[in-house]
Amino acid sequence: MVIAAYNVSVLVSLARQAGGVIIMSYAVGDTLFEGDTLLSLSGGQFALPEAALSRAVELQMERTFDQDPKYALRLLVDIAIKALSPVINDPATAVQALDHIENLLRRIASRRLEVGQAWDRDGVLR
């Protein structure tokens, strides 16, 4: 299974209820295997129900573009590499893919990309 999305507001609410911090060990787009610990609670006053945590994470069989920008970049890189292979030999497609990669990187570079931290309404890290 692949992590398709986190519902951060639900996770913050759950961490607040428990009085701790939820640690997300994997990012959107990462593949999970049996036995992987996806979420854990640090410093909480009581344990969180696994069912409540599960509802805050969307798993799918394949990666999606919705919350996984790495996936779009990976696909464009794959297209460019294949286009330059001796079998396909299509430099125009490779250049076009590189143009799209440049466009995405320019857009990303102008944004604030703080990830991995969320605070509750009282300003407490959750």
pLDDT in tens, 112-126: 766 678 888 888 888
Mean pLDDT of the chain: 89
Classify 63 as helix, strand or coil.
Answer: coil
Tokens at 92, concatenated? 């125009």
- Look up residue 25 and give its DSSP letter: -
E-assigned strand segments in 7-112? 21-24, 39-42, 57-60
CA distance linking residue 96 with residue 25, whole number of Å: 35
The burial of 32, by beta-carbon neighbours within 10 Å (0-12 exposed, 13-18 middle, 19 or more buried), is given as middle
Q: What is the pLDDT of residue 114?
A: 66
